[in-house]
Structures are given as C-alpha cells and as structure tokens.
Structure 1
Amino acid sequence: MTGQLETRLAELGVSLPEAPAPAANYVPFVQIGDLVFVSGQISNGPDGLITGKLGADLTTADGAAAAKACAIALLAQCKSACGGNLDRLVQVVKLTGFVNSTADFTEQPQVINGCSDFLVEALGDIGRHSRSAVSAASLPLGVAVEIEAIFQIK
C-alpha cells in the first residue's frame, strides 16, 4: 500500500529505489530513539554515478540535479528505517552536504538547494531542515555531491 508521502513523490514523477547498500564497513543508517542518522548518500542517478567537479566540469545547475539524486537516496534509506512506511517520517532535521568543487567555487549552498528544495516540495513543512553546505577537494568515486541526513520518525 502506498502512503501519502509516496503518493506525493509519484505526483512529482519520483519512485523511490531500493535503499542503496553501504559500500564499505558501515551501516546505511542508525536509529537512536526517534532519530535516524543516515550515512552519506552519493549522487547516483538512473544512468549511474553523477561525477565531476563543480567549478570545472559541472555547472551549479548540474550540481543541484546531483543533490536531488542524493535526496531521493536519503528518502529511500529513511523508508527502509521506517520498515517500508515512509509516512512514519515526522521531520527532516538536518542535512550536511559535501560538494566536490574547485578551490574558487563558492556556490555550494545553491548546489545543496537541489536536495533542500526537493525535500520541501515533496514533503511540505516536514521537509524543512537545518543544513550545512561545504566544499570538498574530492568525494568517493569522483561523485559531484554527497549528503547525509538526520530524520525524526515515529
């Protein structure tokens, strides 16, 4: 049965994939009380990894699209933490976004907006969150963006 949040995602043309498996010796999420800490999700779209460096290979708009892909993976992990029922999500609490960018690139916040804007569009007020957006000299597998999240669930 599809819940309200997944119905809203479908209206936006988004179907959540299976939650990505961890790529090393860590777990995809840890739940402490009603908080779920989701490990960093890398930019991976329908055509594979979204790679490149902002300020060199990619535009800010390209980076925002990569950040949206991270948001979808974060929601997939949250759904897994909720036992398959995304409607247990109470609040997106915090995002930390890492942008693979050149030393002179300064639009990290606009890149991570791709994730933030999508979460608010898809989830409404429960998608509003605190956030950090920082530069990284490189990211795993050369991806453009990696984002971790904290969610509150019931």
Structure 2
Amino acid sequence: MRAKSIDKRLAELGIKLPEPAAPVASYVAAVEHGGLLHVSGQLPFIDGQLVKGRLGESVTLDEGVAAARACGIMILAQAKAALGSLDRVERVLKLGGFVNSTGDFIDQPKVVNGASDLMMEVFGDMGRHARSAVGVPILPLGVPVEVDAIIAVKPE
C-alpha cells in the first residue's frame, strides 16, 4: 500500500476528506505523543449533515454502518490535520466504537465494521486493528455512533 500516497488511495476510493469537525466541549480533536496519535471520538457527518437517531429504533443497520464509515472518514480528516499527511500513519492500532442502540439491538460489531472496513480499504494491512464495539443508551447530540482511534505514526 505504501507504493503510493494515501491521498492517491483516497482519490481512487472516491473519498474526499471533509474539514475536520471542531470539538464540541473542552478537549482537542487529536493528541500526538510518544509515536501515537490519539483521535477523540468522531461523530458521523454525511453530506455535511450530522446523522442522528438510534439503532434498533429509527436507524437501520445499513444506515448505522454508513454512519460508522462517516466517523472513520472524520478520523482520517482529523489525523491528516494533526499529522500534516496521512503518509505518516504507520498503523491503525485500535478503534473504539460506541453505538447508540436499544436494549435488544445486538449488532454493534456489524455497525462499527463501517469504520473498520474503511481503515483496511485505505491502509491495507496497516489498517487492521484491535477494536471495541459497545452499545450505549445515548450519545452526544443524539448521534447513532461515535468512533475514536489510536494510530501509530512515523516521526516527521
């Protein structure tokens, strides 16, 4: 995958990174320290609109997967803003996925696959990662999914 730049790979996949979303509270979007980039939980924006709803209620599984993918795209946008280039990504180490879902909804892992599959599409084997997929009763701003990341980075 490293034979070409990640920007070229994104273009091949038809992915245009959005402007990184500003934090909605007292935190920063990303912190680089000790060879790691910690990206705060990202919310799903599709076509510039914040996606809202709950899995098992008003959001279908397919819509949840698309929302998780949108979170992954925002993770990439935040990483690029923090690092200057996604070519500095050495490996995606871990994603944490939180799914706003009803008590009887059990497909949280399938939802978070939207972000996981994106990382593997973009980075190949370096996008394979450890992961959590947790059901929660509510998320900020009423979104259906939130995803954070830990990424190993190459020095500048």
Instruction: With the length of structure 2 as denominator, give the TM-score of the two structures.
Output: 0.94
Equivalent residue of 2:134, what SS?
Answer: strand
Distance 1:28 1:47 in 2: 18
Number of paired residues? Answer: 151
CA-based RMSD of the aligned residues comes to 1.0
* 3-state secondary structure, aligned to 1:96: strand
* CA distance in structure 2 between the partners assigned to 1:117 and 1:29 by the alignment: 21
Kindly indicate whether residue 108 of structure 2 is the aligned counterpart of residue 97 of structure 1.
Answer: no
Question: In the aligned structure 2, how far is the partner of 1:87 from the partner of 1:19?
Answer: 17
Alignment gaps of 5+ in structure 2: none
Any idea what the Cα deviations from partners look like across 1:33-88, whole Å, max 9, x if unmatched?
A: 11011100011111401111000111111100000000000011111121x21101
Number of the residue aligned with 2:38: 37
Residue in structure 2 matched with residue 150 of structure 1 by the alignment? 150
CA distance in 2, matches of 1:6, 1:47: 21
Q: Name the counterpart of 1:80.
A: 81
CA–CA distance in structure 1, aligned partners of residues 9 and 125 of structure 2: 13
1:71 is matched with: 72
Distance in 2 separating the partners of 1:104 and 1:68: 23
- Structure 1 gaps, min length 5: none
Identity score, percent: 53
Q: TM-score, normalised by structure 1?
A: 0.95
Dislocated runs of 4+, deviation >3 Å: none
Once the two structures are TM-superposed, the CA of residue 153 in structure 1 deviates from its matched residue by: 0.6
Q: 1:47 to 1:21 in 2, by over 3 A?
A: closer
